[in-house]
Structure formats: C-alpha cells, structure tokens
Chain A
Amino acid sequence: MTIEAKYVELMNADLDGEISDAERIDLAEYLEANPEAAAMQAELSDLCGSLDEMGQIDPPPHLKYAILDSLQKTAKPASERVASGGLKLRQLFAMPALRHAFTFGAGAFLTFALISSDQISDQAFDDVTGLVGTISDSVPAATGQNTIRLTSNEIAGMVSTHFAGSLNVVDFNLAAEGPVEIVAEFSNNELWFKGFAQLESDDTRILADDGQVKMHIQGRNRYALYLQHTNDVDSTVNFKFYSAGNLIHEADLIIGNETKEAE
C-alpha cells in the first residue's frame, strides 16, 4: 500500500509541531487504519528524537576571545565608527561581570599556589591590592611592543603592560582551551617580581623564581603580574607559551620606565 503524500507531509508536520488540531485528528485516523503509515511515523519519530538528542556543543572556551581580538584588529578607525579606539580596560571594567571580578580581585588577590624566590625582596608582598584598580587606568602603550596578541588554537587573547605608580603591571587577558604554561623570563637585574592579582580566572597557578615567573592557566583567565623596574633603561621580558610541552608562541614585551612611557 502506498502512503498518500498528504499524510507524509502531515506526519512530518506533526513531528515538527506545525500541525493544526483538525489535521492531527485526520492523521490519527489515517494512521490507525494504515499500519504501514504508522510504522513510518514511528521511524520518523525515532529519527527526529535521535537528532534532537544530539544537543548543543560548547564552542572552544577561547573562541570568543579570539574573535574579539580579531574584531579589535580589524576595527575601523575611531573617527569612522567607534567613539573610543580599541577595547579599553576601563570599558571592560564597566561590565558587571568584570566589575564584580574586580571587587573579587581585591579580596582574592594573591591567590597563587606556590611562590618561592630569592629574588623577591622582603617587600615582595607589599599590599598592591589597590593597584588592581589601576589596571583600568591603563597608560597607552609607548610602542607596539607593549602588547602580545595570541590567536592560536590553544590560547587566545592579549598580554599587555602599563605603569601603575612605580610598578609595571603586566595584564593577562587570556583564554586557553587546555592547560597552557606561560614562562616569563627577565634575566637582567632591573626587574623584580612584586606580586600577582587574580581578577577573573578559572584556574591560575604561579611560581616565581630568580628572573622567571611561570604561570599555569586553563580556561578564561584575567590576572595581573606586578614587576618593579629598578632603573631608567628599558628591559625585556621574554614570554614563552607552552601547550602539552610544545612551544606554541614566543614574544618579547618591552618594559620601559615611567618617563619613557609617558612620552
């Protein structure tokens, strides 16, 4: 027996929730009288149920940050459409989530797991809580070398520096799909690790050693590293990003002195 086209349409419409009451009654009567059609309806129902059960997949956690980063890079000049150029941290902090994170950051500051260092002075853990807020008052970067942009599969986002009082703040705004280790090396004697603040992070662990800070991150991370700059010359911090032991990105950040930054 052939199933009438009209009822094939009604069977599909029924499964899609696009059938009227009158049509539903008509279909039910037809299916009752036609076992072959009823079997087809059951198969279709099974198929649609399996499709619906497949559900939604979560995008990689870093994707939205990679997209934001791309949007920032391709943004039209401020005069064309954007009142303020670039994604300013001040604007980020105007967002409720980040504002709360900011408040949290003040309280949760220095929530690192391991710190051991000969380089850290007795004042290494000076209360820099207040400086968390100064992240939003970023001094514009003197050169393009003051920002590292990451758009790899494993990690996306930005690392940038600015001055806050006498300290250099290295601001990490990153999202990593899996565990990523970041190694910051400053082998000269002009830079000192002064502290760390976690603002909005899934999990960040930090280990400071002579001339080196290692950070382990995964997921969404927003945190700041504080460095003391002891003289007037620029210093370089070398950043290496590792995923599963493989170097995935390497870049230098120039840490200048306050006078030069303000130029």
Chain B
Amino acid sequence: MNSENDRELIENCMNGDRQAIEALLFRYEKPVYNAAYRMLNSSEDARDVTQTVFLKVIEKLDSYDPQYRFFSWIYRIALNESINCLKKQNRLDALDREPVSEAKGPEEQTGAEQVSQGMQTALMTIQAEYRTVIVLKHFADCSYTEISQILDLPEKKVKSRLYTGRQLLKEALTKSGLH
C-alpha cells in the first residue's frame, strides 16, 4: 500500500470528503475482509467485522497518528475486531474444538480447494495469537517489522510466534492427514 497516497486520502476523509471515504473503502475492503476471513473462517463473520472496522476507522480517524502507516492501523483494528468476534462466540481458544466451517463438502471440492480448506481448518485449530501472525505474514504479506508495528510486539516475539505457529500448523495438518 502506498503510504503517500494514503496520507492524502486520509486527510480528505477527515475533511468529510465522501469520495475519499469511498476510495479508502475500495482500497482496503479486500485486505480487511481477507484478514478477518482467515482469522474467523466464516464469510458472514468476516463481512460483519469488515463493516465494523470501516465504521470504527471513519469514526476514529481523528485519533489516527499519521506517523504510522495507515494499513498498520487498519489491520490492527481488523485483527482486534476479529478477536472480539471470536471471544463473543467463545472461539478464541480454538484448540481441541471443532472448527466452524462453511466449506463445501469434499465431494464438491477440487483438489486445490480441498488443500486450501484443509489448511484453513488447520489454521483454526491453532491459538489466535499464532494465527494472527500467520495471517499477517501469509495473507497480508507483511514484513516482520510491519507485523511488529501492527501487533505492537517486539520483532523477536513476532518471529518466535511465527515459527511456533507454523510448527503448530504443521502438526495440525499431519494430524488431519493433509501433510
């Protein structure tokens, strides 16, 4: 994401420019929705979270500190909202729970879809703190530094969560026979 373009867009949004708000929404809707979907494995929840995120972003735009990149801020809100959603549904500690899935049945899926769904299901079995870094790394394409800023964690911690998360994911996949 281009932070220069973002800055101008945010300024216009803060001045109440509706076109700027639309442009911001069009730019970030998909990344926010994807982050939420990967955290929640539910398109309905991801949709609700995306909506809440944008309402909060516009409402709290005055409190956004432009010294940070906008996408860090919006991702942080998206992940927090996703975790709130998991908490509300008592799905935060997903280990040993039956993952919520809205996927098609295996007979309706292609091979790639099955692998993708198996991966998503495995992702839901690992704790949210590990899932969060995996989502930011693999689905938002963030660097260690960016993840560190988004989650407000030292980079060292980000790395260790990522390694542990991958290890847990690998174990979950092995357990399900997919890896």
Contacts and interface: CB of A to CB of B under 8 A. Distances in A.
Interface of A: 8-9, 12-13, 16, 18, 43-44, 46-48, 50-54, 56-60, 63-64, 66-68, 70-71, 74, 81-84, 87-88, 91, 94-95, 153
Interface of B: 14-16, 18-19, 21-22, 25-26, 29-30, 33-34, 37, 43-44, 46-47, 50-51, 54-55, 58-59, 112, 115-116, 119-120, 134, 137-139, 143-144, 159, 162-163, 166, 169-170, 173, 179
Contacts of B115: 50, 53
B22 A68 contact: yes
Contact of A94 (B19, B59, B173): B19
Q: Which 9 A-B pairs have the closest CB atoms?
A: A82-B16, A59-B33, A51-B138, A81-B16, A54-B116, A67-B54, A12-B163, A64-B29, A67-B51
A83 B144 contact: no
B50 A67 contact: yes
A58 B115 CA distance: 19
A50 B134 CA distance: 12
A64 B46 CA distance: 13
A63 B55 contact: no
Main SS at interface, chain B: helix
Given A52-B138, A58-B30, A59-B33, A64 B25 contact: yes
Contacts of B134: 51
A153 B48 CA distance: 10
A46 B169 CA distance: 12
Contact of A47 (B30, B120, B170): B170
Given A44-B166, A51-B138, A59 B179 contact: no
Nearest to B62: A81
A53 B18 CA distance: 36
B119 A59 contact: no
A54 B41 CA distance: 13
A179 B17 CA distance: 32
B159 A12 contact: yes
A95 B19 contact: yes
A67 B25 contact: yes
Given A53-B116, A153-B44, A13 B159 contact: yes
Given A56-B139, A58-B30, A83-B16, A71 B166 contact: no
Contacts of A53: 112, 115-116
